[in-house]
Amino acid sequence: MTKLHKCQECGNPISARRAGQEFCAAPCRQTFNNRRMQRGAELYDLFRALRRERSTASEMNLWTQLCRLELQWQTEDDQQRPGRRSYMPPQKALTILKDKGSLPRGEVLCKATRPRAA
């Protein structure tokens, strides 16, 4: 049985032939994934600096800049692709990372840097 819904990239109606089908054709899937890769590359260095060079990142208001970048992407998406998400839902993204073995597991990665108040 096929379920009718919209392509995540172009918005055209599609009949999903398999569970989880999100795109009407390969070009739509490629466009979607290429945009994610480009945006991810833009985000990578800024996020790493935010985590590893905290004093510099703080002086540069890096978190604010990251939020502005995301807002710019959302504005572009709203204009070019109204009503369609240009990112994976968090649960799906984490599942993929876990399945690939790319998500570290184990100890807490962020330890408190300030002494706790008594």
Distances (CA, A) of 60 to 39, 68, 75: 20, 13, 23
CB of 66 closer than 8 Å to CB of 48: no
Domain chopping of the chain, boundaries = 3-82
First to last CA, the chain: 61
pTM score, whole prediction: 0.70
**Full DSSP string of the chain:** --EEEE-TTT--EEEESSTT---SSHHHHHHHHHHHHHHHHHHHHHHHHHHH-HHHHHHTTHHHHHHHHHHHHHHHHHHHSTT--SS--HHHHHHHHHHHT-S--SS-S----SPPP-
Query: What does the pLDDT profile of the chain (118 residues) look like in tens digits?
Result: 456 788 999 999 988 777 788 899 999 999 999 999 999 988 999 999 999 999 999 999 999 999 999 999 999 999 998 988 888 889 988 888 889 888 777 665 555 555 555 5
